[in-house]
A = this chain, B = another copy of it.
Amino acid sequence: MVKQERAARTRHALIQAAATVFAEEGFVTASLSTISRRAGVSNGALHFHFANKHLLAEAVEAGAAEAVRRITEAAQARQGGSSLQSVVDATHELMGSLAHDSVVRAGFGLAGDLARRREPSPRTQWQHWVEDVLRRAEHGGALAHGVSAADGARVIVAATAGLEVLGGQDASWLSRQTVTGFWEVLLPRLADRRDLDALVSAGSQHPPAVPPR
């Protein structure tokens, strides 16, 4: 393994370990020696990569921001930037990442940590994307009559923030079933009636049920 590759692996291991420790203990309580031990590297190696705990937290937040960017861009590339289906798909992907990816979970959690609050957080990034898609959907006639893009976006952003926070204590809030139920309640109210049949609450990427033989 060349030197550069080894350094990248150590850095990656440190970010993963920091995410796990932040999620378990919170930012304030987490100690650098717990993080380096968890990553299987020396304190010296940690300090070579990250001079302090705030820089580690920034790397974790950047990882979560990168995941939000990847998820929203992929949903938008598949479904278009004015389609409610892109928001449905991205919500499923984001909740799945919050459930299974400790860097995403910790990155969102740090945004709520009093010692770490700063803008833009992954939450704000998600909010702006949802607002943009809803505005374009409204402009393109894809929203139901009597629903404004602003009110629709606020309900989606509030509910996904709630699922994120409640999911930290009970993972069932992040399950595909819960997210599907959320969209089953919301889509008939948000979407133009003509689009409703084509919209999939379970997400368009959900593997289809096995057809009957």
* Contacts from A to B (Cβ < 8 Å): 24-26, 28-29, 112-115, 117, 123, 146-148, 150-152, 154-155, 157-166, 168-169, 173, 178, 181-182, 184-186, 188-190
Stoichiometry, copies per complex: 2
- List the B side residues contacting A28 at CB < 8 Å: 26, 28-29
Question: A123, A152, A181: which has the most chain B beta carbons within 10 Å?
Answer: A181
Is the beta-carbon distance between A24 and B162 smaller than 8 angstroms?
A: no
Is the beta-carbon distance between A182 and B158 smaller than 8 angstroms?
A: yes
Is the beta-carbon distance between A114 and B25 smaller than 8 angstroms?
A: yes
Is the beta-carbon distance between A189 and B185 smaller than 8 angstroms?
A: yes
In chain B, what residue has the closest Cβ to A173?
B158
| 17 cross-chain CB contacts under 8 A | A25-B114, A26-B113, A112-B168, A146-B188, A147-B185, A148-B181, A154-B178, A154-B181, A155-B182, A157-B162, A157-B166, A158-B158, A158-B166, A159-B159, A161-B161, A162-B164, A185-B186
- List the B side residues contacting A117 at CB < 8 Å: 169
Is the beta-carbon distance between B168 and A163 smaller than 8 angstroms?
A: no
Point out the residue from B113, B151, B163 that lies within 8 Å of A158, measured CB to CB.
B163
- List the B side residues contacting A181 at CB < 8 Å: 148, 150-151, 154-155
How far in angstroms is the closest Cβ of chain B from A208? Answer: 22
- List the B side residues contacting A115 at CB < 8 Å: 26, 29
How far in angstroms is the closest Cβ of chain B from A74? Answer: 24
Given contact pairs A26-B28, A151-B185, A157-B162, a sample of 17 additional A-B residue pairs in the complex whose CB atoms are under 8 Å apart: A24-B114, A26-B26, A26-B115, A112-B165, A148-B181, A152-B185, A155-B182, A155-B185, A155-B186, A158-B160, A160-B162, A161-B161, A161-B162, A161-B166, A162-B164, A185-B190, A186-B189
- CA gap between A89 and B159 in the complex, in Å: 19
- List the B side residues contacting A168 at CB < 8 Å: 112
- CA gap between A113 and B163 in the complex, in Å: 16
- List the B side residues contacting A190 at CB < 8 Å: 185
In chain B, what residue has the closest Cβ to A187?
B189
